[in-house]
Amino acid sequence: MVKGKDAVIGYFAIHPPQDVLCDGDACIIAGSQSALNRYINSLSYSGVEFQKRKTRFSEIQDGLFRGGAYAFDKESYKAFYPLANKHGYHLEHEEFPETETGRHFVIVKHTIS
């Protein structure tokens, strides 16, 4: 397993040229491709052709610094938050309760202190 800034945190989906699968204003990061497929289907995008791509910690960190927001599922958050804390974030362990839709995300965005 790769650690540090090159660690793969999860997967995101993009519909070319630049439409990213989001929950509200936050880009969804799934811990697996199968989870990402479930999110696509549950968000009524089943007819849209998305490209699924891996995303690394450094890419997410760059996106956060540019003002982006990310919606992490349980598996991707589990990979993200310890690395984020090593790089100056102050994130906590989160509980991921079962939901009727099967979706529960933790939203992370860069805040200026």
pLDDT tens-place string over residues 4-23: 778 999 999 998 777 899 98
From the list 68, 79, 63, 67, the residue with the least C-alpha distance to 10 is 79
Report the 10 Å Cβ neighbour count for 74: 15
Single-letter amino acid, residue 62: D
Contacts of 60 (CB under 8 A, 6+ apart): 9, 29, 70, 80
Render pLDDT for 39-90 as a digit per residue (tens, 0 to 9): 888 877 667 788 999 999 999 999 999 999 999 999 999 999 999 999 989 8
Least confident range from 23-32, 55-64, 94-103: namely 94-103
Q: Quote the pLDDT of residue 42.
A: 82
Where does the pLDDT of residue 98 fall: very low under 50, low under 70, confident under 90, or very high at 90 and above?
A: confident
pLDDT of residue 101: 60
- Residue 28 binned pLDDT confidence (cut-offs 50, 70, 90): very high
What is d(CA 61, CA 107) in angstroms, rounded to the nearest whole number?
Answer: 14
Q: Is the peptide bond before 17 cis (omega within 30 degrees of 0)?
A: yes
